[in-house]
Amino acid sequence: MTTYAIIGSGAIGSALAERFHAAGVYAVIANTRGPASLQSITEKFGTKVEAVELDQALQSDVLILAVPYDAVPDVARRKTAWDGRTIVDATNAIDFPAFKPRDLGGRLSSEIVAELFPGAQLVKAFNTLPAAVLAADPEKTSGKRVLFLSGNYPEASKKVADLIARLGFAPSDLGSFKASGSLQHFGQPLVALNLLKD
Ligand SMILES: NC(=O)c1ccc[n+]([C@@H]2O[C@H](COP(=O)([O-])OP(=O)(O)OC[C@H]3O[C@@H](n4cnc5c(N)ncnc54)[C@H](OP(=O)(O)O)[C@@H]3O)[C@@H](O)[C@H]2O)c1
């Protein structure tokens, strides 16, 4: 059975915990401060979302990065090989306080993140909706809320699209980074687009 970990317990990590719990999908969650700091999440979602130490969470098959973009190298440094793992990149590379896309010299942030996890297959997902929208029930009478995904490994993208569907969203797979370009990256048209699909 595929195991899931939410790395980060802030706005996006908490929103994901709410969705995993609501959908009845088991996941572990971790941050830098340890399980005791996650009591507010486990009190609400603990029947499906278990707080664990970060290094334990990183043993899971599918790791959803819900940490600041600048914290990703710290997560990646905790192991030397990531073979067989699916890294789901929910981060956005943003310059604060300007709230502008980070200048990455024309590279996609997810390509840079992918290089930090040798042996893993990366899929970009869960980065397009504001946290409050991601946390809300994705099933409306008019349809299901759309979540975009993209990545260079079709098998990993299928795995993440299946997870997105299990969580109640409508997955929209944009294909490889070459095909989708930066469309799903911060500052581009598909970010913050709250679409419903029937
Ligand atoms: N907020 C949104 O609406 C939104 C929407 C789309 C995408 N995003 C993206 O999602 C990511 C998370 O955003 P957020 O708003 O949820 O941030 P946040 O509220 O600041 O939460 C960040 C979380 O990351 C954890 N963290 C930091 N460094 C870590 C490390 N080295 N290892 C493990 N955990 C670490 C923090 O844990 P500690 O407190 O223990 O340090 C905290 O739980 C960002 O990349 C952001 O751009 C955010």
Residue 73 CA, ligand 1 centroid: distance in Å: 13
Pocket of ligand 1, candidates 6, 28, 32, 55: which has the most ligand atoms within 8 Å of its Cβ, to mutate? 32
Residue 150 carries which DSSP code? Answer: E
Q: Output the pLDDT for position 177.
A: 96
Mean pLDDT, consecutive 10-residue stretches, the chain (198 aa), reads 97 98 98 98 97 98 98 96 97 97 96 98 98 97 97 98 98 97 95 94
| Domains of the chain from N-terminus onward | 4-197 (3.40.50.720)
Spatial distance between the Cα atoms of 75 and 116, rounded to a whole number of angstroms: 9
Rounded to the nearest angstrom, the distance between the alpha carbon of 68 and the centre of ligand 1 is 5
From CA 69, how far away is CA 57, in angstroms rounded? 19
CA–CA gap between residue 154 and residue 150 (Å, rounded): 9
Closest ligand 1 atom to 94 CA: 47
Among 97, 59, 93, 104, residue whose Cα is nearest residue 78: 59
Torsion of CA 179, 67, 99, 183, to 10 degrees: 10
pTM: 0.98
Per-residue pLDDT at 27? 98
Residues flanking ligand 1, CB < 6 Å: 7-13, 31-33, 54, 66-69, 71, 74-75, 90-92, 94, 127, 130-131
DSSP β-ladder status, 62-65 and 4-7: parallel
CA–centroid distance, 92 to ligand 1, in Å, is: 10
Q: If DSSP codes are grouped into helix, strand and coil, which group holds residue 6? A: strand
Q: Which of 19, 31, 129 maximizes ligand 1 atoms within 8 Å of its Cβ, making it the mutation to test the pocket? A: 31
